Amino acid sequence: MSNAQRTPRPSASFDIAAVQSSRKLVLFILGAAAVGVLLFGHSLWPDEGENNLHETIETIGLALILVAIAGRTWCSLYIGGRKKATIVEVGPYSVCRNPLYVFSFIGAAGAGAQFGSATAAVAAAIITVLVFTVVVRKEERFLSEAFGEPYLSYKARVPRFLPKFGLWRNVDTLEIRPRLVVRTFVDACVFLASIPLAEGIEMLQAHHVLPVLWMVP
């Protein structure tokens, strides 16, 4: 099956923009709630000394954020603007049906890690997985109705989230839509906002503007 084998049936109706907007709203609300918790919490690990686990977690988190930004941008080269028009099953989509979302999980973990807490990193990733799982199920229903057997075959062969690298295949050329690629890159950079946010909270706590009510490992 080629990268653009068939177009969706006209009877299939699905507003991806609405679903994505709802997903962003839910993530924003959950993110705001998480920040509210972290406003009065501090990493259990000290942020000074020779074995500075706090800073190590933050550094690993930054690396995860950069991977997420690069990964989501890379995926957009293949999928940008094509989600409702064709079954994309090459490049990252040949090993995983939702690589854009997988990189979002990585970015969420990196954002949580900016608080110097492994627990915050894991919790952020888990929450993001749960939210995106709901979105993916809705998308899968649309794609099953729109493309029928070709998509069902792709769905049966390629994992939803966990990559199966042995399935990798690519193409020699791609039709790239720069505007959509740039938009994906800019959207992914939102993970970087966790760095000044976490640093700001830590500074306010250090100056006793915000009380530390609990410690987070």
b/e map 120-135, b = 16+ CB within 10 Å: bbebbbebbbebbeeb
**How far is C-alpha 155 from the geometric centre of its chain's CA atoms?**
20
Q: What is the pLDDT of residue 11?
A: 44
Q: What is the pLDDT of residues 154-209, one digit of tens each?
A: 999 999 999 999 999 999 999 899 999 999 999 999 999 999 999 999 999 999 99
Helix (H) or strand (E) holding 27: helix 16-38
Q: What is the pLDDT of residue 16?
A: 61
Please tell me the pTM assigned to this model.
Answer: 0.88
Tokens 């760095």 sit at which residue?
195
Question: Nearest-CA neighbor of 97 among 37, 137, 50, 63?
Answer: 137
Whether residue 66 is predicted with pLDDT greater than 60 in this model: the reply is yes
Q: What is the mean pLDDT of residues 107-122?
A: 95
CA 146 – CA 161 distance, rounded (Å): 21
- Comparing 16-30, 33-47, 91-105, the range with the smallest average pLDDT is 16-30
Helix (H) or strand (E) holding 43: strand 41-43
DSSP string covering 115-159: TT-HHHHHHHHHHHHHHHHHHHHHHHHHHHHHH-HHHHHHHHHS-
Q: What is the mean pLDDT of residues 84-110?
A: 94
